[in-house]
Amino acid sequence: MATINFKGGEDYIMKLSKLEAGLKDQVLGAAIYGAAGIVADEIRKTLDQVPTDERFGTSDSPTRGPKKRQRDGLAHSLGIASMQDDGTGYLHVKIGFDGYNDIRTKRWPNGQPNQMVARSVESGTTWMKKNPFVRKAVNASKQRAVAFMQHSTEKNIEDLMK
């Protein structure tokens, strides 16, 4: 009967254990948050290019974009949520808008919800032309984000396996 001897097998098992312990946070988390940062930065850049219009729009004469204060509220509220594990093997982070801007009305006494404003700017309304800044940003940064995740994952696995 043949016998197989592994030299340094215990070291390899220790490295695999170390990799398993750091996989979620050190490897995957770093890659996911880094890529989300690339996309979020691109969203900020495209948001700065959205035209503003201070007049009141109508369906006959829609505005070119949001008011400057609305756009500033979006830029201030853009963020990345904490990583979620859905239990099926997928890790998620969300990039989005939180809170309220400083335009207070009778309907919005705390200010307009930034998520609503972002959706209105992205898709347009009957009184405002659409400015798909999120879609443009995601399309422009997708390849860079994927490349970053690949490089980051390989580097962090290599560091953990040393």
Q: Establish if 7 belongs to a structural domain.
A: no
The number of folded domains in the chain is: 1
Q: Establish if 14 belongs to a structural domain.
A: no
pLDDT in tens, 18-32: 666 557 777 888 899
pLDDT in tens, 62-113: 999 999 999 999 999 999 999 998 888 788 999 999 999 999 999 999 999 9
The answer on pLDDT for 6 being more than 60 is no
The answer on pLDDT for 2 being more than 60 is no
The rounded distance, in Å, linking the Cα atoms of 3 and 136 is 60
pLDDT of residue 86: 83
44 lies in which domain range? 22-161
Q: Two tokens at 93?
A: 């982070």
Q: Two tokens at 141?
A: 């940064």
**What is the CB neighbour count within 10 angstroms for residue 150?**
12
Q: Which of 1, 80, 81 is nearest to 39 (CA)?
A: 80
Q: Establish if 106 belongs to a structural domain.
A: yes
